[in-house]
């Protein structure tokens, strides 16, 4: 299955430290995913890393010791930025999660079309990555898979979609009180594994949490985002024997 900074992205797509001196990258052609590792020495791990994201989630092992994620999200106004790779929602400080007793502050969340994380080989229509960072600088990315349904769209997505910036480099302010918790599924069961950012520099050591239950997105919402980004997702990466665990 995207910080200044479970965790997925960060640097370019999440705007967390992508220096302007780094070369241009994209999702197509010579500067697309197959070539990221050759664009800059700083991106080398995109090609050579052994714990790259996203991956196909299958064969997860139940771990009863895994604790539920504690959510402490607050409602606030937000700013949406079309950064040329995705639409990133910048949130005000104060929202956070707790994992194994450690606080991770929500930095931002952003969208991929189609979804990046696969489950048994199947991708969803889109996904949203909520990027968190601990005081020690460790990253955790929560991935919510979005599937098209007929009927009422997700209310939080509906509020955000009213303010989608239509051009790269543009920002729009959403005056509504946005709570990222509105993007989460009702059932908070998840899969977890170690991975990387899904955009250059593809930094590893990111803990990922992918929710098992999907969240609805309407056809109109899909079309609106697809008009901005027909494809902005990285292909699946080799699992390389990584352990995938599921909580109850």
E strands of the chain, at which residues?
56-57, 61-62, 70-72, 76-82, 87-90, 96-99, 102-112, 118-119, 122-123, 126-134, 139-148, 171-178, 190-196, 204-211, 215-217, 245-246
> Is residue 85 flagged as an active site residue?
yes
What is the rounded CA–CA span in Å between residue 70 and residue 140?
13
In the three-class reduction of DSSP (H, G, I as helix; E, B as strand; rest coil), residue 35 is classed as helix
3-state secondary structure 107-173: EEEEEECCCCCEECCEECCEEEEEEEEECCCCEEEEEEEEEECCCCCCHHHHHHHCCCCCCCCCEEE
Catalytic one of 72, 85, 129, 132: 85
Tell me which residue of 107, 117, 113 sits closest to 86, measured CA to CA: 113
Token pair belonging to 114: 């189609």
Q: How far apart are CA 220 and CA 159, in angstroms?
A: 13
> What whole-number distance in Å separates Cα of residue 102 and Cα of residue 132?
11
Quote the tokens at residue 186. 């009702």
Q: Which residues are catalytic?
A: 85
């Amino acid at each position: 299955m995207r910080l200044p900074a479970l965790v997925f992205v960060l640097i370019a797509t999440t705007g967390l430290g992508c220096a302007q001196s780094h070369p241009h990258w994209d999702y197509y052609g010579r500067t697309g995913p197959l070539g990221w590792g050759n664009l800059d020495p700083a991106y080398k791990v995109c090609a050579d890393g052994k714990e790259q994201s996203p991956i196909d989630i299958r064969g997860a092992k139940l771990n009863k010791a895994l604790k539920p994620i504690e959510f402490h999200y607050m409602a606030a106004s937000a700013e949406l930025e079309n950064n040329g790779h995705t639409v990133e929602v910048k949130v005000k400080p104060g929202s956070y999660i707790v994992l194994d007793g450690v606080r991770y502050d929500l930095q931002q969340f952003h969208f991929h079309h189609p979804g990046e994380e696969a489950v048994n080989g199947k991708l969803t229509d889109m996904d949203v990555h909520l990027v968190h960072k601990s005081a020690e600088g460790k990253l955790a990315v929560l991935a919510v898979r979005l599937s098209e349904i007929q009927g009422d769209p997700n209310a939080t997505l509906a509020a955000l979609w009213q303010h989608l910036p239509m051009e790269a480099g543009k920002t729009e302010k959403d005056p509504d009180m946005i709570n990222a918790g509105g993007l989460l599924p009702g059932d908070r069961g998840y899969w977890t594994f170690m991975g990387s950012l899904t955009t250059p520099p593809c930094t590893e050591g990111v803990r990922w949490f992918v929710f098992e239950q999907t969240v609805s997105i309407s056809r109109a919402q899909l079309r609106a985002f697809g008009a901005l980004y027909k494809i902005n997702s990285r292909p699946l990466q080799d699992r390389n024997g990584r352990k995938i665990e599921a909580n109850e």
